[in-house]
Amino acid sequence: MGSGPVRFGPLRLWLGVGAFALAGAPVLPGQAQPAPATEEARPAPPIPQGAIPEVEPPADVPVMFQDAPPAAPAAPEAPAPEPVVPPAPAASEPVAAPPAPLPAAPAAAPPAPAAAPEAPSPTPPVVPPGALPGAAAPVPPAAVPAPVLVPPAAAPTPAPAGGTAAQEGGEGGEGGEGGITFGASPDVAYAAQIMLVRGHLAIGMELARAGAWDDAVFHFLHPMEEIYENLRLELRRRRAPGFAAELGNLANRARRKRGGAGLEADYRAALARIDRALVAGVPARVRNSAPFVAEVAARTMRAAAAEYEAAIEDGRLANVVEYQDGRGFLAETEALLNRNAAALRGAPGGERDWAEAQAALAALRRAWPTPRPPSAPAMSVPDLLAAVARFERAALRWR
């Protein structure tokens, strides 16, 4: 046994010459060593860091280690999770000694300590039915929203020929006047809108002469509020004179209920201005031709029939204004034919077509017997539409 350090448990003794004496070796004279100081008289050398394990092994099992050079530091790794320290067991239960940390490259493995009671195994986790142990719980797929079906955009309706905003709805779709320009040529559309203006003024004058001023005011205002705005750009494009002032004069006189010669003069002035707008906007060879006149007349009567149909509700003429609009359009259609009778009757087959057109107009007059509507319709809608169809057939032959 050499004079190196001997470690017995936590106690470290440094033995010198006295160790040989204890072993029976002779002590040479003059080399007697004084008795070693007791632990109370001599402080123990400092214990290096880490020399004492955290928990002492059992006292009856000697543990001897030899000093070994410190192991080279390992490469830095991700910090391991801190071990969970189990709670202290109750006094009545046996204490399970935690395993001592393994030393770096021990010379010999220490004898295994006495078997300690096994700690209760943790309760196994609850595995859902159909899931494999240790496998991650299936993640439900994200809800996929139903596709939104966007209907295709409707193709824009081509604007009919005519060059004015009124062609897409006439008078804003009011009654049957909205479709009078649908599919018409620019000149026919322009003349057809002027026919609507003349028709409103015609029924307005008839009502004013009868003393029905409230109804007359409405029809005098209607062209300015509903038709003229659509005509304004077309008048400018065709370099035709406007007639807004003349329409305003008639409406103001009707508001004041001032009839007589002044009203008649204002009416004639308005018609003259409107005729100038037609003459300036449509060439003579077009506006005086039988096909042109026949088409404008047929479109005006189509609007009259639609107004009559819109006036009937529950078997009675409930909408007075629509009924009166149709009467005014019929009157202006007859006036248009009479102004152009020579061209119409002089066309090939003109006498025959003229007679058929006049017969159809005579039948249609029964639908509008008076400026104010009767209590019940004088003509059924099917009969009226049949009469309008006969008129259109004659007009088509002129074309």
pLDDT digits (tens, 9 = 90+) for 103-112: 444 444 444 4
Q: Which among 212, 176, 188 has a CA at the least distance from the CA of 329?
A: 176
Q: pLDDT of 292-347, one tens digit each?
A: 999 999 999 999 999 999 999 988 999 999 999 999 999 999 999 999 999 999 99
pLDDT for res 229: 87
Under DSSP, is residue 128 helix (H, G, I), strand (E, B) or coil?
Answer: coil
* Cβ pair 307, 319 in contact under 8 A: no
Mean pLDDT to the nearest integer, 31-53: 55
Q: pLDDT of 166-186, one tens digit each?
A: 333 334 344 456 677 888 899
Q: How many CB atoms lie within 10 A of CB 354?
A: 19
Under DSSP, is residue 269 helix (H, G, I), strand (E, B) or coil?
Answer: helix
- Tell me how far apart the alpha carbons of residues 306 and 270 are, in angstroms, rounded to a whole number: 26
- Tell me how far apart the alpha carbons of residues 373 and 367 are, in angstroms, rounded to a whole number: 9
Burial degree of 33 (CB within 10 A; 0-12, 13-18, 19+): exposed
Please calculate the CA angle 181-334-372 and round it to the nearest 5 degrees. 90
Structure-block tokens of residue 67:
């000093």
Amino acid at 176: G
pLDDT for res 117: 46
Compute the chain's Rg from CA coordinates: 59
Amino acid at 80: A
Q: pLDDT of 174-227, one tens digit each?
A: 445 667 788 889 999 999 999 999 999 999 999 999 999 999 999 999 998 889
- Tell me how far apart the alpha carbons of residues 327 and 272 are, in angstroms, rounded to a whole number: 22
Mean pLDDT to the nearest integer, 131-135: 43
Q: How many CB atoms lie within 10 A of CB 224?
A: 18
pLDDT for res 307: 95
Under DSSP, is residue 12 helix (H, G, I), strand (E, B) or coil?
Answer: strand
pLDDT for res 179: 72
Residue 8, beta-bridge partner list = 11
Q: How many CB atoms lie within 10 A of CB 109?
A: 7
* Cβ pair 342, 225 in contact under 8 A: no
Q: How many CB atoms lie within 10 A of CB 258?
A: 13
Q: Which among 215, 174, 213, 216 has a CA at the least distance from the CA of 193?
A: 174
* Residue-averaged pLDDT of the chain: 73
Phi, psi angle pair for 6, to nearest 5°: -115, 130
- Tell me how far apart the alpha carbons of residues 112 and 106 are, in angstroms, rounded to a whole number: 14
